[in-house]
Amino acid sequence: MLKKLWILPLMLLVFLIPMVSAQAAAKPEITNVRTATRTDANTPFVRTVLDVSGKANPKLYIDNSGEYVFVTLPNTGIGKNVAKSYKPNSNVISRVTLSSRSSSMDVTIKVPRAVTKNDVKVFTLPGATGSKVSSRVVIDINDKSGKLKQWSHWGDTNIGIKGATKPSQSWKPSSTKQPATNVPAYSSSKTYSLTKGLQGKTIAIDPGHGGSDSGAVGTYSKEKDITLAISKKVASLLSAAGANVIMTRTTDVDVYAPYDGAVEELQARCNIANAAKADVFVCIHIDSFDSPSAGGVTAYYNSKTPYDYGLANYIHLQNMKATNFADRGVKTANFYVLLHTNMPATLLELGFISNPNEEKALNSDAQQQNFAESIVKGLADYFNHNGN
Ligand SMILES: [Zn+2]
C-alpha cells in the first residue's frame, strides 16, 4: 500500500517533465543577433539579423518621432546566452534592445536620425542553419547620415543570402548563373601542396571587391581599384617566379554578378580557387574606419587547415618590412573566403583608405610595388618552410 502511494506521484512526474520541456522547446527563441553594414546598394543600410529557432512573424512599428523602430515577434522567446543589448553603429543604429513582453519579443532599435517606413524593411528568410523550422528575421535600416562608407566584411556567412536582396527596389536582378551557394564548403580532401619553392605552385589571388562593389571609399580613391592594382603586380611577380597564378578578377568587375548578394560574390571567388586546386589563396583588401587616424596592416586567417596561420604570418612579416604603416598583427577571423576555400588562405588588409597618409601611399606605384614584392616574398617563405 505504501509502495503504491509513492508510485502515483512518481509516475506523474515522469510523464509531466517531458511535456513541460517539449512545450518550452516548441516556442521559438531568438538564438543570435548580428549586424552588418552594406554600401553596395544605392542607399547604404545597416542590416540586423535575428536567428529564430522556429517560424517568425515579425511586425514593424515606427514611433512618431521616427527615432525608434520596433519589431515585435509574437510567440517568441530569447535564448539563454543571447545578449539583450547591442550598440552596433553610431551613425545608423545606436542601440538594439531585446525585451520580453507577455509571450512575445520586442526588438527596439534606436536610430540617431529619424526614419520613416520607407527607410526600414523587415522580412524573413529561411534559417541559416539549414534547419527546416528555423528562420531569420532581417531588419534593414537605411543610412541617413551619409557616413556609411565601409563595406564591412561579411565574416558571418549567414547574414545575407540570395533572396535577401529582393525587397529593395535598388537591386538589379541577379544573373541566371548557377547559384554559387550550391557548391559545398571546405573539402577535407587535401589538394594543396606544401613543397618548397614558388615554381609550379598554383596561387589564387583575390583582389577584394570590384564592379558594383567599390569596397571602402577614401577621399579620392576606391578600395576595389587599389586591391586590383596590387594584385596585378603580385600576379606578374609570381608568374615571373614560375608560379601558376589564378586571379579571381583582372578587371573592374563583380566576380559573380553586379549587385549580387555577399555570399554569391564571395563563394564565386572561392569556387575559382577551389576549382583550380590552388595551393594557397591570398585575398587583398584595404581597411577603413570612421576615424581618419586609424591605420596599419593586418593579416587575417582561420585555422581550417594547419597552415593558414603560417601563410598569414609569413606574408605579414614581409609586409611589415615593406611599409611604415603600423603593425596591427596577425589575427583570426571568420571571413567567408577564409572558411570556404579548400586551401590555406589569408585575407590581407594593407592599410586604411580612410587614413589620408595611407590612402596617398596606397595609390602610389611605389607602395603598391613594395606590397606586391613583400607578398611574394612571404609566399616564398611559406613554401620554403612547408607551410609551418
Ligand atoms: Zn575590403
Tell whether the model's pLDDT for residue 314 goes beyond 90: yes
Task: For residue 145, report the phi and psi dihedrals to the nearest 5 degrees.
Answer: -90, -20
Query: Looking at the DSSP assignment, which residues form a beta bridge with residue 32?
Result: 51
Tell whether the model's pLDDT for residue 129 goes beyond 70: no
**In-domain check, residue 363:** yes
Determine the distance separating the centroid of ligand 1 and the alpha carbon of 281, expressed in angstroms. Answer: 15
Dist. CA 210–CA 252, nearest whole Å: 5
Dist. CA 152–CA 228, nearest whole Å: 18
What's the CATH number where 271 sits?
A: 3.40.630.40
Cα separation values, 57 from 104, 119, 328, Å: 11, 20, 43
- In 3D space, the residue among 30, 39, 375, 383 whose CA is nearest the CA of residue 192 turns out to be 383
Q: Decide the pairing of beta strands 244-247 and 297-301.
A: unpaired
Question: Coil, helix or strand for 103?
Answer: coil
Residue 152 has a pLDDT of 40
Report which of residues 299 and 127 the model is more confident about. 299
Tell whether the model's pLDDT for residue 182 goes beyond 50: no
Based on the fold, state whether residues 211 and 128 are members of the same structural domain: no
Residue 9 has a pLDDT of 55
Based on the fold, state whether residues 108 and 256 are members of the same structural domain: no
**In-domain check, residue 174:** no
Query: Looking at the DSSP assignment, which residues form a beta bridge with residue 136?
Result: 51, 125
Based on the fold, state whether residues 340 and 220 are members of the same structural domain: yes
**Largest distance between two CA atoms of the chain:** 95
Chosen domain end from 127, 142, 157: 142
Based on the fold, state whether residues 217 and 137 are members of the same structural domain: no
349: annotated active-site residue:
yes
Based on the fold, state whether residues 231 and 303 are members of the same structural domain: yes
DSSP per-residue letters across 264-288: HHHHHHHHHHHHTT-SEEEEEEEE-
- Domain total for the chain? 2
Based on the fold, state whether residues 118 and 213 are members of the same structural domain: no
Determine the distance separating the centroid of ligand 1 and the alpha carbon of 181, expressed in angstroms. Answer: 21
Dist. CA 336–CA 180, nearest whole Å: 13
Based on the fold, state whether residues 138 and 196 are members of the same structural domain: no
Determine the distance separating the centroid of ligand 1 and the alpha carbon of 284, expressed in angstroms. Answer: 8
- Residues 210-232 have a mean pLDDT of 95
For the segment 45-67, what is each residue's pLDDT rounded down to a tens digit?
A: 788 889 999 989 899 988 888 88
Based on the fold, state whether residues 97 and 234 are members of the same structural domain: no
Determine the distance separating the centroid of ligand 1 and the alpha carbon of 224, expressed in angstroms. Answer: 8
**In-domain check, residue 380:** yes
Catalytic residue among 223, 264, 349, 359: 349
DSSP per-residue letters across 235-271: HHHHHHTT-EEEES-SSS--SS-TT--HHHHHHHHHH
**In-domain check, residue 227:** yes
Residues around ligand 1, an ion, CB closer than 5 A: 208, 215, 285
What's the CATH number where 95 sits?
A: 2.60.40.3500
- Which 8-state DSSP code applies to residue 181? G
**In-domain check, residue 6:** no
**In-domain check, residue 8:** no
Cell numbers 543571447 correspond to 82
Based on the fold, state whether residues 371 and 224 are members of the same structural domain: yes
Report which of residues 298 and 334 the model is more confident about. 298
Based on the fold, state whether residues 108 and 248 are members of the same structural domain: no
Determine the distance separating the centroid of ligand 1 and the alpha carbon of 366, expressed in angstroms. Answer: 21
Tell whether the model's pLDDT for residue 250 goes beyond 70: yes
**In-domain check, residue 252:** yes
Give every CB contact of residue 240 below 8 A, 6+ residues apart in sequence: none
Based on the fold, state whether residues 115 and 239 are members of the same structural domain: no
pLDDT above 90 covers a percentage of the chain that reads 49
Would you state the cell numbers that stand for residue 42, as one nine-digit string? 544605392
The domain of 218 spans: 192-384
- Residues 97-122, buried b or exposed e (16+ Cβ, 10 A)? ebeeeeeebbbbbebebebeeebbbb
**In-domain check, residue 184:** no
Query: Are 31 and 51 within 8 A, CB to CB?
Result: yes
Determine the distance separating the centroid of ligand 1 and the alpha carbon of 277, expressed in angstroms. Answer: 24
Chosen domain end from 111, 142, 173: 142
Chosen domain end from 142, 175, 201: 142
Based on the fold, state whether residues 199 and 112 are members of the same structural domain: no
Residue 38 has a pLDDT of 65
